[in-house]
Each structure stands twice: as structure tokens, then as C-alpha cells.
């Protein structure tokens, strides 16, 4: 009789566990379902569709016609114009990353000082976060315009040579890098400044007592202590630089002579201006792989130097 009761009790226990699991699954579907639906429609399906289209030729309506396998990839990776665009993209990404992190750190270190009126500078340094891409593009077009731009106007007053900022291929790349860095500085400064605020002041006091220089404190105390935030900023800046589109479109439209025709803008041109959807899909997959590889390299190389 006792064995029968124990058997019934164990069966009831298993039944309760089964009901609990089904109940938990139902709650999970209820809460995650809308998000998964949106991700499926607007993220996962477009990714799969893009990969599918990259294996075909397409007509002007984006409909697949002939299966070509990896031929789109081989022709793309041997294209001189694509390789030039890829080279320009890496120059742009490296320039934006280095300048954004270095300048953001410099502004954060300055804003962390106990100086009179420093709150004003903290507000100014973070204010670029509230500026839209279109407004920033108009501002920098006014600054860098070869004929009526502010820089050339000042150069004329000082009897200095006036430069063709927007029409010279080398200078055009500099203008879009400077513009992007300015747009990114607010966010980078805010993240690094918040990290600096959490560094114990006692570390700097001990370093001052030992007679350590400011540069020594920067590299041995400040940077190691805020390394997680630096790592985060590096990842975000890298991905954001690879995806830059707005400033390129509004300021240079990929010119002059395709000097600023970065991968994202090239994808836009091939898909929406030239109607070559298969090539645009192939370029999108290549860009995704490049971003993934660069991100993995950052995790493998830089994460080892992060102090948590």
C-alpha cells in the first residue's frame, strides 16, 4: 500500500513539474513572442533573403533569375572598383576609430579635472549627441565648402593657401572623417567621463605622493581602470564607422572620383540607383563578414588587456 502511495505521489510530482514547464513556456512565448516576431520580420528574414539573393542574378525588380552560386562573390572580390571602395572604407574606419577614442579620452580627462566652470565644458563636449546627421552635414558643408566655406574664408584673411576640401579626393576623405569624429565625440566622451568618475581618487593621491608624472598616471592608472569602457567604445565605434552612410550621402555622395565611396554607400548605389540587387546583396554579406571578423579580432586581442 505504501509503495502504491509513493508511486502515486511521484506521478503527481511529475505531473506538476510538467504543468509548470508548460506554464513557463507559455509565459516565455507571451513575453518574447512580439519581440521575436519583429526580429524575424525585420532582421532574420532580410538577412536570409539577402544571402539567398547573393547566389542569384536578379532583374530590375529584385526578382531572382539565374542561380550562379559563388560567382557573384568571386567577381566582386576581383573587381578593382570594389577593392578601391574596400580600401577607402578601412582608411575611414581606422581614422574614425583612432581619432574618436583619443579625442574622447582627452576631453574626458580634461572634464574630470576640478576646475572653475568645468560643468560648462562638460555640457559642450556631450552636446553633439543631440545633433542630427542632416544638421551636422549642413554645418560641415558650410565649413569645408571650397568657395564660400568658413575655413577658406579664414585662410584668405590670413593670406594662407585655400584648399579644395570637397573636390580633392584626399581632402574629401579627411572632411568626412573629421565630420564623423565630431558626431561621435559626444557619446564617446560621455561613456569615458562616466568611467573616470568611478576611478577612486585615492589612486591618484597615492601616485602624487610617490611623485608620479601625469603621463605615468594616465597610462598606469587611468587607462587600465577605464579599460572596459574603452573596449566598449572601440567596438561600438568600429561597427558604427563601417555602417556610416548619412554624412557620406549628404556631403560627398561618394565622390570625388569615388574617393569616399564606402561600402555602405556602394551598396545603396548598386541596389537603389543601379538596380543591381544581386551585387548589392553580395556586398552586404561581405560587409557583414568583415564587421564580424573585425569584432572577433577586437575581442580576441583587446579583451585580454581589459581589467574588470
Q: Which residues contact 109 (CB under 8 A, 6 or more apart)?
A: 196, 218, 222
Which residue did the predictor score with more confidence, 130 or 306?
130
pLDDT for the residue numbered 275: 85
Both 133 and 96 in a single domain?
Answer: yes
Q: Same domain, yes or no, for 81 and 25? A: no
CATH of the domain at 129: 1.10.3720.10
Q: What is the pLDDT of residue 297?
A: 87
Calpha distance 20→23 (Å, rounded):
5
Does any domain span residue 67?
no
Q: Name the domain count of the chain.
A: 2
Q: What is the pLDDT of residues 133-189, one digit of tens each?
A: 888 888 888 888 877 788 888 888 888 888 888 888 888 899 999 999 999 999 999
The percent of residues above 70 in pLDDT, for the chain, comes to 92
Indicate whether 17 and 114 sit together in one domain: no
Per the prediction, the chain carries an average pLDDT of: 85
Contacts for 112-115: CB closer than 8 Å, 24+ residues apart: 112/193, 112/196, 112/197
Query: What's the confidence (pLDDT) of residue 34?
Result: 86
Residue 79 shares a structural domain with residue 49: no
Residues 148 and 38 in one domain: no
Residues 39 and 82 in one domain: no
**Could you tell me which residues come within 8 angstroms of residue 123 by beta carbon, excluding any fewer than 6 positions away?**
none
> Is residue 220 one of the residues assigned to a domain?
yes
Residues 12, 130 within the same domain: no
The pLDDT of residue 10 is: 58
- Asked whether residue 64 is assigned to any structural domain, the reply reads no
Instruction: Find the length of the chain.
Output: 308
Position 61 in a domain? no
Residue 101 has pLDDT above 90, yes or no: yes
* pLDDT tens for each residue of 185-203: 999 999 999 898 888 888 8
Residue 60 belongs to some domain of the structure: no
104 shares its domain with 208: yes
Residue 92: pLDDT band by 50, 70, 90 thresholds?
very high
Residue 58 lies in a domain: no
- Phi, psi (degrees; rounded to nearest 5) at 227: -60, -35
pLDDT (mean) for 249-267 = 89
Q: What is the pLDDT of residues 4-59, one digit of tens each?
A: 444 555 555 665 555 556 667 777 778 888 888 898 888 889 899 999 999 988 88
Q: Are residues 33 and 103 in the same domain?
A: no
Structural domain including 7 reads 2-53
Q: Which has the higher per-residue pLDDT, 303 or 56?
A: 56
Q: Are residues 43 and 136 in the same domain?
A: no
Q: Are residues 221 and 261 in the same domain?
A: yes
Is there a domain that residue 120 lies in? Answer: yes
Tell me, yes or no, whether 247 and 209 share the same domain.
yes
pLDDT band at 97 (very low <50, low <70, confident <90, very high): very high
Q: Does the residue 233 lie in any domain? A: yes
State mean pLDDT over 65-71: 87
Amino acid at each position: 500500500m505504501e509503495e502504491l502511495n509513493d508511486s502515486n505521489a511521484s506521478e503527481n510530482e511529475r505531473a506538476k513539474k510538467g504543468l509548470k514547464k508548460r506554464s513557463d513556456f507559455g509565459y516565455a512565448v507571451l513575453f518574447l513572442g512580439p519581440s521575436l516576431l519583429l526580429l524575424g520580420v525585420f532582421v532574420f528574414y532580410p538577412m536570409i533573403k539577402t544571402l539567398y539573393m547573393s547566389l542569384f542574378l536578379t532583374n530590375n525588380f529584385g526578382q531572382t533569375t539565374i542561380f550562379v552560386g559563388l560567382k557573384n562573390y568571386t567577381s566582386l572580390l576581383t573587381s578593382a572598383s570594389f577593392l578601391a571602395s574596400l580600401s577607402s572604407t578601412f582608411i575611414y574606419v581606422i581614422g574614425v576609430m583612432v581619432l574618436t577614442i583619443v579625442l574622447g579620452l582627452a576631453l574626458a580627462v580634461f572634464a574630470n579635472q576640478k576646475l572653475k566652470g568645468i560643468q560648462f565644458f562638460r555640457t559642450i563636449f556631450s552636446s553633439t549627441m543631440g545633433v542630427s546627421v542632416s544638421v551636422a552635414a549642413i554645418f560641415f558643408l558650410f565649413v569645408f565648402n571650397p568657395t564660400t566655406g568658413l575655413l577658406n574664408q579664414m585662410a584668405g584673411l590670413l593670406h594662407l593657401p585655400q584648399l579644395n576640401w570637397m573636390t580633392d579626393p584626399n581632402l574629401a576623405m579627411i572632411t568626412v572623417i573629421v565630420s564623423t569624429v565630431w558626431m561621435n565625440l559626444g557619446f564617446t566622451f560621455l561613456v569615458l567621463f562616466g568611467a573616470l568618475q568611478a576611478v577612486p581618487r585615492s589612486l591618484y593621491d597615492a601616485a602624487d605622493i610617490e611623485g608620479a608624472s601625469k603621463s605615468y598616471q594616465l597610462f598606469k592608472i587611468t587607462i587600465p581602470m577605464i579599460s572596459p569602457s574603452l573596449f566598449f567604445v572601440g567596438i561600438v565605434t568600429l561597427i558604427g564607422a563601417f555602417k556610416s552612410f548619412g554624412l557620406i550621402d549628404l556631403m560627398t555622395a561618394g565622390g570625388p572620383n569615388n574617393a569616399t565611396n564606402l561600402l555602405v554607400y556602394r551598396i545603396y548605389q548598386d541596389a537603389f540607383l543601379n538596380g543591381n540587387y544581386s551585387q548589392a546583396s553580395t556586398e552586404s554579406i561581405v560587409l557583414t563578414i568583415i564587421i564580424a571578423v573585425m569584432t572577433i579580432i577586437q575581442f580576441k586581442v583587446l579583451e585580454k588587456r581589459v581589467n574588470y
